[in-house]
Chains A and B, each alone.
Chain A
């Protein structure tokens, strides 16, 4: 199984991506997906994700390899945006297909925890016309620590 890992520099269509992923894995009994999107409200006008070419996609590919080695999966998709996004736009899509649902739930959960606080992205949001950088929350580090 070769994971599908992509860094998207333009908006993507999560429904179309998920339909294509499901069609590729008819033998999987279940597919768990996580879609992260730009939260509307709190005065946030825009969100920007930055990446660093030499590290970001290679790091995501390494993460996918770790996930694929740890759980029995039929397929794994990790798709992460970089660039400026508007509220409601998708940021990240993770999909894990497996024969049994437990592996798929755990794999998607693990992948998301590592994308949040252990991957090469930097995030800032625009509130009232001013940009400010966002650093990981304590909860993000606690989530990561669960995996040992």
Chain B
């Protein structure tokens, strides 16, 4: 099981703030995205969306997700 977290407008696309994804084995991000609704998968791969893997911002390319991992999808930020 991996937890996907959707920040900002991505929560609206997903319809939920986070979801748990069953994983039989360590799974490439690209394969994990295939398990999601197309519209959500496309939004998560937007050019300005960054990814945090277990709380560390990382590159999407080559990312492998394991059991118990948390993957957060981070659209452009806006604070203050």
Chain A residues with a Cβ closer than 8 Å to the other chain, count: 25
A54-B76 in contact (CB<8A): no
B52-A121 in contact (CB<8A): no
Report A70 CB to chain B, min CB distance, Å: 19
Q: A119: which B residues are within 8 A, CB to CB?
A: 77, 79-80
Q: A52: which B residues are within 8 A, CB to CB?
A: 5, 7, 52, 72, 74
- The answer to whether A136 and B55 touch (CB under 8 A), given A50-B7, A54-B72, A122-B7, is no
A92 interfacial contact with B, CB 8 Å: yes
Interface residues of A (CB under 8 A from B): 36, 49-50, 52, 54-55, 80, 91-92, 112, 115-124, 133-136, 140
Nearest 9 A-B pairs (CB), nearest first?
A: A54-B55, A121-B79, A122-B8, A116-B80, A133-B9, A123-B78, A115-B80, A119-B79, A136-B78
